[in-house]
Amino acid sequence: MANQKSALNRIRSSETKRLRNRYQLKTCRTFVKKLKGATDQQEAEVLFKKISSMLDKLAKRNIIHKNKAANSKSTLARLVNSPA
């Protein structure tokens, strides 16, 4: 266990950040599932806009890699824009 005050502080702050990052990632995944299950085109477009914003924020904060965000947005855009 750490002895320095700064190390103890760092442990606490990193745990808080880890939980926040996990929550944000899980929320995004939940919205992706909602989008994949959406039947209404209008609803899908609204969800896609929200999800793409979430993915950009996650990439900006280094929670996910920027290429993963781009690939996910591309895949979801194809899903939303498909005629079926």
Q: How confident is the model at residue 84 (pLDDT cuts 50, 70, 90)?
A: low
Q: How far apart are CA 18 and CA 15, in angstroms?
A: 5
- Supply the pLDDT for residue 47: 96
Alpha helices in 1-84, H assignment, sequence order: 5-37, 41-60, 66-81
Q: How confident is the model at residue 3 (pLDDT cuts 50, 70, 90)?
A: confident
Q: 58: which residues sit within 8 A by CB, 6+ positions away?
A: 24, 25, 28, 64, 69
Report residue 15 as tokens: 């745990």
What is this structure's pTM? 0.86
**Class of 5-81 in CATH:** mainly alpha
pLDDT, one tens digit per residue, over 8-67 is 999 999 999 999 999 999 999 999 999 999 999 999 999 999 999 999 999 999 999 999
Would you kindly state where each structural domain of the chain is located, as residue ranges? 5-81
